[in-house]
Structure 1
Amino acid sequence: MRRLLHGLLGLTGLLALLEAAPRLGLVDARFLPPASEILRTLAGELTTAGLWLALGETMRGWAVGLALASGLAVAAGVVIGVVPGLRAATSSTVEFLRPIPSVALVPLATLLFGPSLGSTLLLVVYASFWQVLIQVLYGVAAVDPVAHDTARSYGLSAWSRVRHLVWPTSLPYVMTGLRLAAAVAFILAVTAELVIGSPGLGAEIQVAQSSGAVPTVYALIVVAGLIGIGVNTAVRLLERRVLAWHPAVREEVAG
């Protein structure tokens, strides 16, 4: 309750500041409308079908891209981590490709797919893939060598070792990567729509900005922020459920 109260107090203070700044002339109201006007515009936008259709497109790109990136990253991370010598052979390639910003692929995405879902997926998958892959590699590397040698001495097959030893050890790392990738995927989904013009919330923001509807721009930004909070909360709940057996999660829930 104390954490919730502090959060509400902080939100109230922010709204009060946003309401007072343009009305007192500290900022130009043409570029930053009062909070009451933004919230009024937001309430009006929530009643329109166009906003919900745009949100559906954004969430579809986010969900499909995140699922593809996570599946590919988990499979690649386990194979690279388990096969002897493969991690050393691929480390330079991973370190070369991972720092490349996804927005640098915007021209390629536009050339290949144009303003469509394909462009969004290209950026989302590329950005999210590395978040999960690196965590999976850390998880596979965290397997106890003694436990690994014991499992091999008992005659467990490679698949059994992955299923009963590597996967349980890596799962906390996988969930951390998924939590990071979920936020990155949503950011890139909106960015692709905003820059390339793919259907979705970002495209609606771009249209509002081009038409000079400043309150609508801020209202849609608020929607994006709320969706981002919802995405993070949902992934955190999934993480707690999947890792209910993990001591760290038990301590967090008990606290």
Structure 2
Amino acid sequence: MPIGRRGTAVARGLAGLVGFLVVGEVLGRSGLVAPEFLPPSSVVLARLAEILGDPAFLADVVATVLAWAISLGIALLIALPAGLLLGSVPGVRAATAALVEFLRPIPSVALIPLAVVLVGQGPTSKIALAVYAAVWPILFNTVYAVAEVDPLVRETAAAFRVGRRRLLTEIVLPSIAPFVLTGLRLSAAIALILVVSTELLVGGGRGIGEFISQSGTGGGRMDLVLAAAVVAGLIGLAANAAFTAAGRRWLPWSEVA
């Protein structure tokens, strides 16, 4: 994206954010909703500044980000090889199609009780659920991308007796990289949602979701709840920006990235 267009996009994004904050401020002070349920934007931002200086909350943020990063890494290690296999071997894809289509629509949140029974509370359960949810976008993008590799390129490689390893590393992986990156960006958001949701519903350890649960149910501090939610949103925004920047740097030829 050219610098001018990128600057325009950033300016529009900031304008939208400012407009959202103004609406929140007006609604919070209008009296239509009690301030304890919908505090003004200025109050939420003030609480945000406070908790960002609280070592205990920063430890919660680190716990959430660490669980999210581990989940995303495991999901990639599972989904990429599986997608290459399913995309390259039609027989395997046909044999597993029914199982995949059965598992994919199951909401990961519905599996929280099962995860708690199998692996217990704490980091393991939220990582397991986030991995399950994050696998699917990477998997399906990889399968689709492998099937879309130009047949002429494959035939040319076969004519020059290119081995399977070189075909994979020099042709297939570079071709599918933009689609895998897109799947990774989608999975990053999904994994973050599952990590925070599991922390919120299950608890039993540190994390942003645990902080939200304690603030909302213990003292009814909606200002702290919203401030922590803003932090979670900022983490997701930063992750998406990082993947986008990586795509521009390492995959400049692709519009998908």
Equivalence for 1:146: 152
Query: Quick one: which amino acid aligns to residue 49 of structure 2?
Result: A
Please give the alpha-carbon distance, in whole angstroms, between the structure 2 residues aligned to 1:132 and 1:6: 30
Q: 1:52 to 1:159 in 2, by over 3 A?
A: same
Query: Retained in 1: the 8 A contact 2:59–2:206?
Result: no
Equivalence for 1:165: 171
Equivalence for 1:107: 113
Q: 1:157 to 1:181 in 2, by over 3 A?
A: same
Give the secondary-structure state (helix, strand or coil) at the position aligned to 2:36: coil
Please give the alpha-carbon distance, in whole angstroms, between the structure 2 residues aligned to 1:27 and 1:55: 30
Deviations 1:89-143 (A, max 9, x none): 2222211111111112101111122221111111111011111000000111011
Residue 24 of structure 1: how far off its partner (Å): 2.2
Q: 1:48 to 1:161 in 2, by over 3 A?
A: same
Give the secondary-structure state (helix, strand or coil) at the position aligned to 2:106: coil
- Aligned positions of 1:25-64 closer than 5 A: 25-64=31-70
Structure 2 gap segments, 5+ residues each:
1-6
Q: Confirm whether residue 223 of structure 1 aligns to residue 236 of structure 2.
A: no
Please give the alpha-carbon distance, in whole angstroms, between the structure 1 residues aligned to 2:134 and 2:243: 14
Percent identity over paired residues = 42
What is the alpha-carbon root mean square deviation over aligned residues? Answer: 1.7
Please give the alpha-carbon distance, in whole angstroms, between the structure 1 residues aligned to 2:38 and 2:120: 32
Query: Quick one: which amino acid aligns to residue 14 of structure 2?
Result: L
Please give the alpha-carbon distance, in whole angstroms, between the structure 2 residues aligned to 1:53 and 1:98: 33
TM-score in terms of structure 2 length: 0.91
TM-score in terms of structure 1 length: 0.92
Structure 1 gap segments, 5+ residues each:
none
- Aligned positions of 1:176-191 closer than 5 A: 176-191=182-197
Please give the alpha-carbon distance, in whole angstroms, between the structure 1 residues aligned to 2:27 and 2:161: 70
Q: 1:159 to 1:84 in 2, by over 3 A?
A: farther
Please give the alpha-carbon distance, in whole angstroms, between the structure 2 residues aligned to 1:51 and 1:111: 28
Query: Retained in 2: the 8 A contact 1:182–1:235?
Result: no
Q: Confirm whether residue 8 of structure 1 aligns to residue 41 of structure 2.
A: no
Divergent runs of 4+, >6 A: none
